[in-house]
Structure 1
């Protein structure tokens, strides 16, 4: 044991020097394999020297590497997994020594001690242990012990329940893919476990070893399990993913397998990508990542399918899949149209094409660009997109084989294009296909008495022409993002050209251009304007001037918003869109929507009175009509009972379905009260998602806040107590808020905040409302934001008539309808500049 500490210090210095060298080499793609192999070899040699120094008897033990270390694919901060096979000796002290040594070098490790019989027993009980044995490699010690283990592995461990093992690995891969969204096109990909990641290759390798005894992809090619083309794609993808994982580890100086948004540029530059005239270095990195991940995923699917199903020399139609004849020729137009026809039938009957058929389809479509204006292809394409069936699966496979990219090159331009924003979860092409899938889900939507149920009814009853144009709009609505700004205007110009190429008549062309040009209209209105303002509806109907356009646009808005990320389509936004839709519909039908709301509120008021009894009538009559239209009757009963039956002013209601909490405040309507309440919530680490205020005719207000909490619980009594102290000048909100600034931000959150600060903006608009000046604020979303904004309004004696709180990723887009102290709009340029200047000051 003499000199062990000195050895550890030397090894640490060697490791640092090695990592400095490997970090430089990792920027060169062809050196990536050398990087992981060299790291593995250094660990081997270091461990062997350790065993010699601690005098581990070589003839009494065999040291075996397992896992990624066993595959000789050791990334900078990968775990080191070892198995010691002893020959009748105790190894407890040795195991502790290895742990301590490797931990001292900065490695996570596992060291297992198992005899040959134990290996058999554990492998039969635990699929994970059996998998680790598949990747085993001899390092040092008694080689005969290892040969005995290797023989046991081949004869007793791998053959045992091999079908169950393979099925378990496939199920494991499916679960991983489901966890990461079943697509390679995610905003922040996991290069080890996501779809098309290194783990896909590992599963393929484990199954190949169990079935055929091969050691790596090269051997798979040699015995015909991989074609030369597939091997080339697999090798290129592996080199790229190894390089990216190395870069992520080197950058973090620890294990990190996720390419977070704020790391993109640094990793891109580390991997040798540079800015071009059209794309940034990070854009080029992400495109290359998606290309390689997609190729790896396709090769793995194709190869596993070949393992698990017997192939016949000719293709046939199966019960659940379609196989395309392998003799099809890309040079023959008839064969190209036949493949598109196969996709039509796959959509019609709900079948998928086999992996081999997809490969053949991709080959057949290689010359598609020269046929993209053909009438027959346009007819088949329109027939497919007009079907009264769910076509999303067929369209996704058409994208996989590059049909969409080649048939509509403008769509191909946004393939694998990601946005430098946390708002969008997917790449542009994946987002578009997700939008289409959201429309298809309306075929089976069956939740009654919801606005989405109304959308489902509209969708199911569209004419084939309108169904076609809406699907095409969903697919193409974001193609203008290739230009980075005003993408809806750019997209409208592009789809006009596409419509001509697809031989659409003027009626369909006009609708397609309209939908792409205005696909953001509804979401922008509900996020920034008061849908109850008559001017909002008046301006909306100048653009959406027909009922059929309204139906198509609201369906596209639903599909688009749901495809952005998991938090964009909310119950609150759904209700705003429903209000906008109904107001527009009533106008088209020459009916008075406001009169309908008045009648509806009166009916709700009378119903609630009957449910609660006379002692509640006086309180019920103080509530304005709009609260009865915004909040359902059962919830209003709960609010009114709590307000009447208790002396409390603050109530909290948890929504288990949405994991949010609704905080209701019933208080005296005094100037600046909303600012005080928002500050109290921020001081208690409560983040406001949405809020709405109602003025009662008894000089009271009801403010309803939808909030997010760190721990999922809220103490209404504590909020009420702090609010009382604030209003009595017993609690300093400003001091509390200063102590909260950035307190809970992680490194990643701070980086995202810094990115968001560059986008801070304040816009003032006096044209969107006849009564109010509208101030719209773009700023990083954080606890306390509303407090700082409304504090500025209070300083300038501004009254807030209405407000809309919205978020887009890590950015808040908050809109306030304000008037001056004399209840007039603000026109003074000097005063407006002062307000904006003060807002910029608090937002930064």
Structure 2
């Protein structure tokens, strides 16, 4: 071993020992939020020593390195943020006297020696002149220079960079750099859906992550005054921001050590491990090791960072212009219910100013009252935010936070408070105002019951948001319905349904009651209760009493909260079944309560997860609303509704088939009303023509109609009735990896079956390969005709596509004999796995039962499948239900294997 190799081995050994010591120290104090900050600074200090030692040895070999070259730490290393597997960002900075090619070998040698010492070095070589130019396509390099610091080498060279070139670059290109930084930051946020709420967040890149901490620092450095004024104004707020940074640093160090690589994803298992260690919680988590509880702390810190980066970015865009005194638009005084729901009184703003996009409290007069201490002024200010969409200045935020004790002492309940709360809730930017109030503590001041759901996590694979954020998204979604017929942010297929529900909202007599119900509907989740709607209702009763709502107003709010899951549950039933509509109508009782619940359910489903409210679910929600509304209005009796609908449809279908009226009547005879109401005349015409092609052909002939769509495709089977048709179709689609979202099966008096399946293409097979669509139809036809073994194909698909289960779902089978007058309702809740629907429907068929209607739904990892079944044209008795339950549980267990 050469002397150089021995030296490198010695450096590497010392480095490994030091890292082990740093990691041990971190492990011993990981409950404290500052553990990560101390660890990254300690690693940076150790790397400084190694770089200096290697550079000194290199200078002895090549004296030309002694003058004109500086080793500069940039990026994360420059900030002294070296996590266990972070790259060491080094800049070899040369003055103009040296030619890079002459030093190339020596610099490469230094680079290699640092790698041999155990460092992952990301190095670059630049001349001073190159650092003076700004490249919009490489803004990262310029940003890295903002964090630059000298490690070793020629201090004069580094001084020219720090004291001359960099200030000159910023003076010339400051606006360009800021603009490009804002662009890349928005693009990164968009990549993560512009939300910090992810089930498994990337704590570096997600909104509210460490990268946003860096953005705040860069933008404050790039301000004309160097950020001094901003920092002075926000010193108290900076304490919370600093705590959040420390928590994120501790979490990232923990992830690096756990994953043994630069992996910053806080996955489910890492969340469990972090909670078990009470990572970063200090005394707060000493006795609580629940992952959901720990994630509340993560989201609170991420939310703090997101608030800061949002404000700093908006300030950088020039929204905070010189103060210009302006009157706010007149604020409507809105009451809850009665005549107060109309604009009846207006007041001039007092105690605060509207700037260009910003609202700021007036300064308190010497010896006078501070506007921040007056609840009326503060609540009017939040009302102005809700109406205008303006942001609250950072200085005003701090004043409101500091004034909370005095605001609490001066706050009075009653009609005045409810009017101001109504102004906030009904403003088009209510969600923004409420989030600010929540972050500052004023929302909990008004409604202490809300505190229990602060950053509360529902830890499953379906809920996207924390409970408090879900509440605000519900309110945002309701306000978006005012913009119909085209609603921004709603996918094209959803725009129609948003427009329809928007008409209900615009005609709602008391919209403020709906928004209040939305604000309170999940407060019960903060308590240990298995029935959170009831608990939320109980907690809301205290709020409504303090606001002094009358009995009618309170009844509408409490009824919406109590029943807020009922409409979603009814969608898992046959919404065309009279008993379903009658039972649901019995719970809402009045048309206005129905309108509020329908609007709330639309927004509630949308706010659970971006993909939760599909077009077909919105369609069923609308149909249930219309059916229940008709039932409550008693405008048409059941027989006339059925007769008029059928005769009108027959007339419209017959118009498409001149001279075939009697044949159309014969085809439709015996189909349930659900088939008639859920098909357009064109669809019925297609099915009729498919049935005619079957006439006179072989007994087992099948007709298939396939309609491809980028979102949800549909395939319909028309054939003679026989066993296992529904199960065969479900299995054939599962064999192709299709995810069935809804399915139904009908038969007429002639024994003709019409089975329809709507499904999504999880792997985009049909989207990327047009030829595969014909192959899918041929494959399904072959399976239905018995030409190929579907079981073998399905087994191969199951093995090839098995995925890890994040949240285990316990299988459950329930029966209900009262939900339908002609069938037994069977509901299966199970782990969503490939081939599940096929396994269930096959088992039902093997038990001698017939599926009259099937409704399929999936929520994250959980499949909720509902079947209306009969046996020998009657409901199932108790013994038959018991036998079917055992068979289904066994089939589900087998399907998971």
Q: Is the 8 A contact 2:133 2:169 kept in 1?
A: no
Give the alignment of 1:618-697 within 5 angstroms: 622=667, 624=671, 626-633=674-681, 649-656=703-710, 659-695=711-747, 697=750
Q: Does 1:74 align with 2:119?
A: no
Deviation at 1:417, TM superposition (A): 0.8
Pairs aligned (count): 828
Moved more, 227-236 or 378-387: 378-387
Deviation at 1:280, TM superposition (A): 5.1
**Cα distance change, pair 388–248 in 1 and its aligned pair in 2 (3 A):** closer
Query: How far apart, in 1, do the equivalents of 2:114 and 2:800 lie?
Result: 35
Query: How far apart, in 2, do the equivalents of 1:802 and 1:47 lie?
Result: 72
Q: Please list the CA deviations of residues 96-139 of structure 1 after superposition, one character each: whole Å capped at 9, or x if unmatched.
A: 77787778889766433322223334546632321122222333
Query: What residue number does 1:815 align with?
Result: 866
Give the alignment of 1:479-558 within 5 angstroms: 479-484=523-528, 485-527=530-572, 529-558=573-602
Moved more, 172-181 or 514-523: 172-181
Q: Does 1:763 align with 2:770?
A: no
Moved more, 52-61 or 342-351: 52-61
Q: Is the 8 A contact 1:346 1:394 kept in 2?
A: yes
Query: How far apart, in 2, do the equivalents of 1:589 and 1:213 lie?
Result: 67
Deviation at 1:683, TM superposition (A): 1.9
The partner residue of 2:355 within 297, 305, 318 is 318
Q: Is the 8 A contact 2:733 2:780 kept in 1?
A: no
Deviation at 1:262, TM superposition (A): 4.3
**Cα distance change, pair 832–711 in 1 and its aligned pair in 2 (3 A):** closer
Q: Secondary structure at the match of 2:473?
A: helix
Deviation at 1:174, TM superposition (A): 3.9
Query: How far apart, in 1, do the equivalents of 2:230 and 2:627 lie?
Result: 68
Query: What residue number does 1:118 align with?
Result: 130
Give the alignment of 1:551-630 within 5 angstroms: 551-590=595-634, 591-592=636-637, 595-596=640-641, 599-600=644-645, 602-608=647-653, 610-611=655-656, 622=667, 624=671, 626-630=674-678
Query: How far apart, in 2, do the equivalents of 1:515 and 1:130 lie?
Result: 55
Deviation at 1:407, TM superposition (A): 0.8
**Cα distance change, pair 108–661 in 1 and its aligned pair in 2 (3 A):** farther
Give the alignment of 1:380-391 within 5 angstroms: 380-384=419-423, 387=426, 391=430
The partner residue of 2:752 within 680, 695, 699 is 699
Q: Does 1:462 align with 2:470?
A: no
Q: Does 1:29 align with 2:29?
A: no
The partner residue of 1:232 within 201, 218, 239 is 239
Q: Secondary structure at the match of 2:758?
A: strand
Deviation at 1:277, TM superposition (A): 11
**Cα distance change, pair 802–262 in 1 and its aligned pair in 2 (3 A):** farther
Q: Secondary structure at the match of 2:677?
A: helix
Q: Secondary structure at the match of 1:812?
A: strand
The partner residue of 2:843 within 792, 812, 815 is 792
Deviation at 1:575, TM superposition (A): 1.7
Moved more, 267-276 or 767-776: 267-276
Deviation at 1:815, TM superposition (A): 1.4
Q: Is the 8 A contact 2:372 2:399 kept in 1?
A: no
Give the alignment of 1:5-44 within 5 angstroms: 7=9, 17=20, 20-21=23-24, 24-25=27-28, 26-44=30-48
Query: How far apart, in 1, do the equivalents of 2:831 and 2:601 lie?
Result: 25
After superposition, the CA RMSD in angstroms is 3.8
Query: What residue number does 1:806 align with?
Result: 857
Deviation at 1:477, TM superposition (A): 0.5
Query: What residue number does 1:399 align with?
Result: 438
Q: Please list the CA deviations of residues 308-346 of structure 1 after superposition, one character each: whole Å capped at 9, or x if unmatched.
A: 546669963325433212328999997121111222233
Q: Is the 8 A contact 2:70 2:150 kept in 1?
A: yes
Deviation at 1:413, TM superposition (A): 1.4
The partner residue of 1:190 within 182, 192, 202 is 202
**Cα distance change, pair 115–601 in 1 and its aligned pair in 2 (3 A):** farther
Query: How far apart, in 1, do the equivalents of 2:388 and 2:627 lie?
Result: 40
Q: Secondary structure at the match of 1:756?
A: coil
The partner residue of 1:290 within 299, 308, 328 is 299
Q: Please list the CA deviations of residues 635-665 of structure 1 after superposition, one character each: whole Å capped at 9, or x if unmatched.
A: 6667777898999844543323xx3333333
Mark the runs of 5 or more structure 2 residues left unpaired by the alignment: 325-350, 488-494, 695-700
Query: How far apart, in 2, do the equivalents of 1:705 and 1:486 lie?
Result: 33
Q: Is the 8 A contact 1:693 1:802 kept in 2?
A: yes
TM-score when normalising by structure 1: 0.87
Query: How far apart, in 1, do the equivalents of 2:800 and 2:118 lie?
Result: 29
Moved more, 473-482 or 134-143: 134-143
Q: Please list the CA deviations of residues 139-177 of structure 1 after superposition, one character each: whole Å capped at 9, or x if unmatched.
A: 344444433433454243222221222233334444444
Query: What residue number does 2:490 align with?
Result: none
Q: Secondary structure at the match of 1:149?
A: helix
The partner residue of 1:827 within 854, 878, 883 is 878
Q: Secondary structure at the match of 1:29?
A: coil
Q: Is the 8 A contact 1:185 1:416 kept in 2?
A: no
Query: How far apart, in 2, do the equivalents of 1:331 and 1:651 lie?
Result: 72
Q: Is the 8 A contact 2:70 2:158 kept in 1?
A: yes
Q: Is the 8 A contact 1:124 1:130 kept in 2?
A: no
**Cα distance change, pair 182–738 in 1 and its aligned pair in 2 (3 A):** closer
Moved more, 122-131 or 699-708: 122-131
Moved more, 794-803 or 713-722: 713-722
